[in-house]
Chain A
């Protein structure tokens, strides 16, 4: 038996002390599609970056056709026949299809390294021909639709003689037509012996395109199975793992008046039909996978996106189109998904804490310095922000402390309705627990909280109710105490659980 095309043996990678990938072994055979499943943060991306030469593993080895290889950078990987197609495509939209396919390896002639355009075109045509797709090599990439652009990326990998192509959530933004086209290309290349690693969040795609499926959880490989041996329910159970212990401090909900209600919300192409309500003294979770539209829903409510359809009520009063200023005045707060979008990093803790409540700290436009200082010092103490120097630039704080400054800004503005977009993203475990505690304090103090997150366990731990979003719609709502993680994941992914 000949050795497998690519083999990973006990590969590990640590980031800041936590294992992103922990002792994973994986075998990929020629002419197969290997589906990789796992929740966000399970280690899929890191593992693939290791294979693509972007990240160097701390331990373990990579073998290609039985030969141990070392990869220093993506070019090494490419030379060894491993091509990666990222979710965010890496084409240059202003250049032609042919130029993009040959980019980085343009064939030249003569002493002046003049590009041989004829050869560029021929190579592009050959690659597109192997895919069996009809794309004009002279077309500008920016004028192609997303599905076609993806095929161009695959053609680029093929033109470099890739034997293994990694596809990172290739269908997340595709229409079903484009998806069929992509699958046809994959099947055609499979026949030539090209192997694929296919990362997906869509369970229904597993039997459609996969031969083998592997599930990752918390950086570890849970299992590798033939697709024929598994069903949706098994896969979900493998992804979620054992039931979560009670690791989240929780308060009993005593819901008061209705704080916020949205009905039939639609905005742009990411938010299509969202309905939910949240009361004071209650925490509502907004679950959903990446790209389900969670962020956009919160931004729309906060007045940062144009409302196309639907209605919003705050404190029982309907509001139409409004601005963040008006939202803040009505007591809303938005903690953005990326902390950097909430903070002016080079400015002080004090500057950032009072930024959303300048009106409360001024009179006729004149800042009240002592009042401002008092607010800042109180918040720094109350939130245990470290180091407790209000003049310190926020840039110098740790991620968890920066997040506390963001929350502090909204406490300072006397917000009562908190929209938190993935508030524990990228902060360490200790800081996470502090953020959970803060959310509980908000709830005890009678605030209404909406938390968007793709961490199902987190949502089940801190929420009273959970609304699940899929492709811009709220598809189901659960009582957090009566739902299993499997149910939520199934609703978010559109699979079924018997």
Chain B
């Protein structure tokens, strides 16, 4: 195979891969390409787009999708899929809100409860998938319904109001002019990136998704890895729930509806292979931002919310088609 972008000279056995070629940069994902195109176009098309406040707004609006998508990225790289994270997020948020508002649980403990709820739901998903040998899709499809049902039970189907100010600040406040939720999303993204690239767990996830048989022969504990990766997705859903409840200034059982699909869309736009083994957090964040910029731009262009759905759908497919073409063309 040809060396593309002239990365490494012939006899170089060094590991560091300094200086990316143009193609390789492009290879970082069709999402980056689409994002740049979108930004350039919107800057020219609407005067109000290129504005710091607008960008902060996009960051705020994208943060919950980003947090969910980070968890989803790891699951998909491990050759799984988590359809339940929207419901898990709703359940975790409702548990927290009910604990604080109805039972007077201290705020700190309630937040912890939200995170625990997320992890527990993720653990259950992972456990049934790996121990029961049930396909990921089926188990989390069941979870999608069951966790939402539990959230309805916890809240009696009513919105929970009277959320403490601290939570509201997390969801809609700023810190040094930057939305707190966006800071939270950035921290989660860094954690996800670190887990994937710098830990043995990340290696196990990549290996399992890339070739389950090879991972098994190489002594990777598949059951443990699967359970842990779903626990992480659940934890992300728990974290997202706190920001969500804060932003809505209330909690309700249906607040996560459809978010699992947005997260999957962001992961796919970001170039992560839906069949596992390949992908990364960087791409996912680009995917999240592409979706955020698109929604924002279409708003500014006064395009109806109905058409926005259509455009988003077209963009998802177009980005993946471009990605496939690029891989075939340049073999990356």
Instruction: Determine if A343 is an interface residue (Cβ-Cβ < 8 Å).
Output: yes
Across-interface contacts of A350 in B (CB, < 8 A): 15
Across-interface contacts of B217 in A (CB, < 8 A): 302, 304, 324, 334, 336, 341-342, 356
Q: Could you tell me the distance in whole angstroms from the C-beta of A390 to the nearest C-beta in chain B?
A: 6
Q: How far is the CA of A175 from the CA of B278 in the complex (A)?
A: 46
Q: Could you tell me the distance in whole angstroms from the C-beta of A368 to the nearest C-beta in chain B?
A: 10
Instruction: Determine if B204 is an interface residue (Cβ-Cβ < 8 Å).
Output: yes
Q: Could you tell me the distance in whole angstroms from the C-beta of B215 to the nearest C-beta in chain A?
A: 7
Interface size class, chain B: 20 to 34
Q: Known contacts being A324-B216, A344-B215, is A391 close to B17, with CB within 8 Å?
A: yes
Contact between A343 and B211, CB atoms less than 8 A apart: yes
Partner of A367, one of B7, B10, B198, B216: B198
Q: How far is the CA of A324 from the CA of B15 in the complex (A)?
A: 29
Contact between A341 and B17, CB atoms less than 8 A apart: no
Kindly identify, within residues 376 to 396 of chain A, every residue whose CB is under 8 Å from any CB belonging to chain B: 376-377, 380-381, 387-391, 396
Instruction: Determine if B206 is an interface residue (Cβ-Cβ < 8 Å).
Output: yes
Q: Could you tell me the distance in whole angstroms from the C-beta of B279 to the nearest C-beta in chain A?
A: 11
Binds B, one of A193-201, A262-270, A357-365, A452-460: A357-365
Contact between B199 and A362, CB atoms less than 8 A apart: yes
Q: Could you tell me the distance in whole angstroms from the C-beta of B16 to the nearest C-beta in chain A?
A: 8
Instruction: Determine if A355 is an interface residue (Cβ-Cβ < 8 Å).
Output: yes
Instruction: Determine if A18 is an interface residue (Cβ-Cβ < 8 Å).
Output: no
Partner of A344, one of B1, B202, B207: B207
Q: Could you tell me the distance in whole angstroms from the C-beta of A333 to the nearest C-beta in chain B?
A: 9
Q: Known contacts being A324-B219, A346-B278, A350-B15, is A358 close to B210, with CB within 8 Å?
A: no
Q: Known contacts being A356-B219, A362-B199, A390-B13, is A346 close to B210, with CB within 8 Å?
A: yes
Q: How far is the CA of A409 from the CA of B14 in the complex (A)?
A: 19
Instruction: Determine if A340 is an interface residue (Cβ-Cβ < 8 Å).
Output: yes
Kindly identify, within residues 1 to 50 of chain B, every residue whose CB is under 8 Å from any CB belonging to chain A: 1, 7-8, 10-15, 17
Q: Could you tell me the distance in whole angstroms from the C-beta of B92 to the nearest C-beta in chain A?
A: 25
Q: How far is the CA of A355 from the CA of B207 in the complex (A)?
A: 8
Contact between B13 and A389, CB atoms less than 8 A apart: yes
Contact between B210 and A344, CB atoms less than 8 A apart: yes
Instruction: Determine if B300 is an interface residue (Cβ-Cβ < 8 Å).
Output: no
Instruction: Determine if A114 is an interface residue (Cβ-Cβ < 8 Å).
Output: no
Across-interface contacts of B12 in A (CB, < 8 A): 389
Contact between B200 and A367, CB atoms less than 8 A apart: yes
For A327, A328, A356, the residue with the greatest tally of chain B CB atoms inside 10 Å of its CB is A356
Kindly identify, within residues 235 to 262 of chain B, every residue whose CB is under 8 Å from any CB belonging to chain A: none
Q: Could you tell me the distance in whole angstroms from the C-beta of A119 to the nearest C-beta in chain B?
A: 40
Q: How far is the CA of A365 from the CA of B14 in the complex (A)?
A: 24
Contact between A365 and B200, CB atoms less than 8 A apart: yes
Across-interface contacts of A342 in B (CB, < 8 A): 214, 217-218
Instruction: Determine if A27 is an interface residue (Cβ-Cβ < 8 Å).
Output: no
Q: Total interface residues on A, using CB and 8 Å?
A: 43
Contact between A344 and B214, CB atoms less than 8 A apart: yes
Contact between A304 and B216, CB atoms less than 8 A apart: yes
Kindly identify, within residues 316 to 334 of chain A, every residue whose CB is under 8 Å from any CB belonging to chain B: 323-325, 327-329, 334
Across-interface contacts of A369 in B (CB, < 8 A): 15, 198
Contact between B198 and A377, CB atoms less than 8 A apart: no
Instruction: Determine if A133 is an interface residue (Cβ-Cβ < 8 Å).
Output: no
For B17, B203, B204, B219, the residue with the greatest tally of chain A CB atoms inside 10 Å of its CB is B219
Instruction: Determine if A479 is an interface residue (Cβ-Cβ < 8 Å).
Output: no
Contact between B219 and A325, CB atoms less than 8 A apart: yes
Contact between A365 and B201, CB atoms less than 8 A apart: yes
Q: How far is the CA of A8 from the CA of B21 in the complex (A)?
A: 55
Instruction: Determine if A373 is an interface residue (Cβ-Cβ < 8 Å).
Output: yes
Across-interface contacts of A354 in B (CB, < 8 A): 203
In this complex, what residue of A is CB-closest to B204? A358
Q: Could you tell me the distance in whole angstroms from the C-beta of A264 to the nearest C-beta in chain B?
A: 25
Contact between A351 and B214, CB atoms less than 8 A apart: no
Instruction: Determine if A345 is an interface residue (Cβ-Cβ < 8 Å).
Output: yes
Contact between A355 and B214, CB atoms less than 8 A apart: yes
Q: How far is the CA of A328 from the CA of B14 in the complex (A)?
A: 28
Partner of A362, one of B8, B10, B200: B200
Instruction: Determine if A347 is an interface residue (Cβ-Cβ < 8 Å).
Output: yes
Contact between A377 and B15, CB atoms less than 8 A apart: yes
Contact between B210 and A328, CB atoms less than 8 A apart: no
Q: How far is the CA of A409 from the CA of B15 in the complex (A)?
A: 17
Across-interface contacts of B15 in A (CB, < 8 A): 350, 369, 373, 376-377, 390-391
Q: Could you tell me the distance in whole angstroms from the C-beta of A309 to the nearest C-beta in chain B?
A: 23
Contact between B13 and A388, CB atoms less than 8 A apart: yes
In this complex, what residue of A is CB-closest to B7? A391
Contact between A365 and B199, CB atoms less than 8 A apart: yes
Instruction: Determine if A1 is an interface residue (Cβ-Cβ < 8 Å).
Output: no
Q: Could you tell me the distance in whole angstroms from the C-beta of A357 to the nearest C-beta in chain B?
A: 9
Contact between A328 and B219, CB atoms less than 8 A apart: yes
Q: How far is the CA of A422 from the CA of B203 in the complex (A)?
A: 28
Q: Could you tell me the distance in whole angstroms from the C-beta of A344 to the nearest C-beta in chain B?
A: 4
Contact between B277 and A344, CB atoms less than 8 A apart: yes
Which residues does B use to contact A, with CB under 8 Å? 1, 7-8, 10-15, 17, 198-204, 206-207, 210-211, 213-221, 277-278
What are 24 inter-chain pairs, A to B, with CB distance below 8 A?
A304-B216, A327-B219, A328-B218, A343-B214, A344-B210, A344-B215, A345-B211, A346-B277, A346-B278, A351-B207, A355-B215, A356-B217, A362-B199, A362-B200, A365-B200, A366-B199, A367-B198, A367-B200, A373-B15, A387-B10, A389-B8, A390-B15, A391-B7, A413-B219
The 10 closest A-B pairs by CB, nearest first: A344-B210, A373-B15, A328-B219, A356-B218, A358-B200, A355-B218, A341-B213, A325-B219, A344-B211, A396-B1
